[in-house]
């Protein structure tokens, strides 16, 4: 009777957590912001319905993950800043997707733990093994969204890094043509909208922050923190120092562009020089054995069958 009671308790606990997470929570700040945006548009609240458009409703799993993220907020408070930075590096707005991501981690952990317990129950395992399986499944389920987020960050960094030389060159051209740094950033972001949408999105966010009243140092520091690439951090440091000491932005960008090109060329040459060493392992473990099988295979077969003894 103990095992069915434990399974029933786990399922009941999961159901209670889901009900609590889905319970309606009235957000006063969100309601006030919606009313202010509707009144500031100059039309009534039926402005969206006048065009035949209805606001998009969030799906069940998105709403469930967000609610569970709010419910489990205290669990992830210690790593809230790190998770927010990683979401920003992956291209997601932390204020919007932080609760959803934390809720997805909890859902994945509970789901994998429940599946593991049911599998062990059907296989007739002991209670100790079931507890260990549930614990391991919960930890593994918590790690899966983090691994997916790391893959998203790595892919986005590669795309931004490949388009950085074009951005620096366009910045040099715009600044030398007479545009200010703010206008040059906006112009470069518009030009890169098709070829580099990730970098264009970051430059657009930078322009909005500058328009909102933030200083260049704060906005550029946030840009480097969102992207998380060493080259962008060097560019931001150069721009901040040039503005702080009153040097020419155009001259600084020209010098940085030349040094940036040289550094990237050296990194490419270093990677090309390492290819000969990296090819050694595939040759030894995969290509050479296949060649040996093709060349020596018939001789070995003849020798084993007795033909080599004649």
Q: Mean pLDDT across the stretch 246-272? A: 86
First to last CA, the chain: 74
> What is the DSSP code string of 58-102?
PPHHHHHHHHHHHHTTTTSSTTHHHHHHHHHHTT--HHHHHHHHH
More confident residue, 11 or 234: 234
Distances, alpha carbon 79 to alpha carbons 26, 66, 148, 221, in Å: 26, 17, 17, 21
**Per-residue pLDDT at 253 exceeds 80:** yes
Contact 143, 79 (CB under 8 A): no
Residue 295 CA to residue 291 CA, distance in Å, equals 6
**157-277 belongs to CATH 1.10.3470:** no
Q: What is the DSSP letter of 54?
A: -
Q: Do 229 and 260 touch, CB atoms closer than 8 A?
A: no
Q: What digits encode the pLDDT tens for the residues 21-66?
A: 444 444 555 556 666 665 554 444 444 433 443 444 455 555 655 5
Instruction: Count CA atoms within 13 Å of residue 253 on its CB side.
Output: 23
Torsion sign (Cα): 235, 171, 242, 89: negative
Cα-only R_g, the chain: 29
Give mean pLDDT, residues 102-121: 79
Higher pLDDT among residues 49 and 228, named by residue: 228
Average predicted confidence (pLDDT) for the chain: 76
CA 230/CA 237 separation, integer angstroms? 10
pTM for this prediction: 0.66
Spatial distance between the Cα atoms of 150 and 136, rounded to a whole number of angstroms: 21
Cα angle 131, 134, 135 (rounded to 5 degrees) comes to 85
All structural domains of the chain with their residue ranges: 2-24+57-156, 157-277
* CA dist list (Å): 14 to 106, 134, 155, 211, 305: 11, 13, 35, 46, 65
In this structure, what token pair is assigned to residue 86?
A: 């990683």
Residue 4 has pLDDT above 70, yes or no: no
Per-residue confidence at 97, pLDDT binned at 50, 70, 90?
confident
Residue 236 has pLDDT above 80, yes or no: yes
The maximal CA–CA distance of the chain, rounded, in angstroms, is 102
Which pLDDT belongs to residue 117? Answer: 78
Band (pLDDT 50/70/90 cuts) for residue 302 is: confident
* 19: pLDDT strictly greater than 50: no
pLDDT at 290: 86
SS3 letters for 196-242?
CHHHHHHHHHHHHHHHCCCCHHHHHHHHHHHHCCHHHHHHHHHHHHH
Q: Between residues 59 and 138, which one has the greater pLDDT?
A: 138
Q: How far apart are CA 126 and CA 156, in angstroms?
A: 45
Residue reference for tokens 């952990």 = 109
Phi, psi of 24 (to 5 degrees): -65, 130
């Amino acid at each position: 009777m103990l095992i069915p009671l434990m399974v029933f308790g786990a399922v009941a606990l999961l159901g209670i957590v889901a009900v609590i997470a889905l319970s309606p929570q009235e957000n006063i700040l969100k309601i006030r912001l919606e009313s202010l945006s509707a009144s500031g548009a100059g039309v009534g609240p039926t402005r969206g319905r006048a065009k035949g458009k209805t606001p998009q409703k969030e799906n069940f799993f998105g709403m469930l993950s967000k609610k569970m993220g709010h419910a489990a907020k205290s669990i992830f408070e210690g790593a809230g800043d790190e998770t927010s930075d990683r979401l920003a590096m992956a291209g997601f707005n932390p204020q919007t997707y932080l609760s959803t991501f934390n809720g997805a981690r909890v859902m994945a952990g509970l789901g994998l733990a429940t599946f593991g317990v049911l599998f062990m129950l059907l296989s007739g395992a002991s209670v100790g093994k079931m507890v260990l399986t549930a614990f391991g499944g919960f930890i593994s389920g918590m790690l899966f969204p983090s691994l997916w987020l790391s893959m998203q960050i790595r892919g986005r960094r590669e795309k931004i890094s490949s388009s950085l030389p074009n951005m620096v060159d366009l910045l040099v051209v715009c600044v030398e043509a007479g545009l200010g740094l703010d206008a040059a950033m906006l112009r470069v972001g518009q030009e890169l909208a098709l070829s580099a949408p990730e970098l264009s999105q970051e430059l657009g966010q930078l322009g909005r922050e500058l328009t909102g009243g933030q200083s260049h140092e704060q906005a550029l520091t946030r840009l480097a923190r969102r992207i998380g690439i060493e080259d962008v951090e060097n560019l931001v440091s150069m721009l901040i120092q040039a503005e702080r000491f009153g040097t020419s932005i155009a001259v600084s960008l020209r010098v940085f562009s030349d040094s940036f090109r040289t550094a990237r060329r050296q990194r490419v040459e270093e990677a090309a020089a390492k290819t000969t060493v990296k090819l050694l392992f595939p040759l030894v473990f995969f290509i050479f054995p296949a060649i040996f099988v093709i060349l020596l295979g018939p001789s070995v077969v003849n020798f084993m069958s007795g033909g080599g003894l004649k």
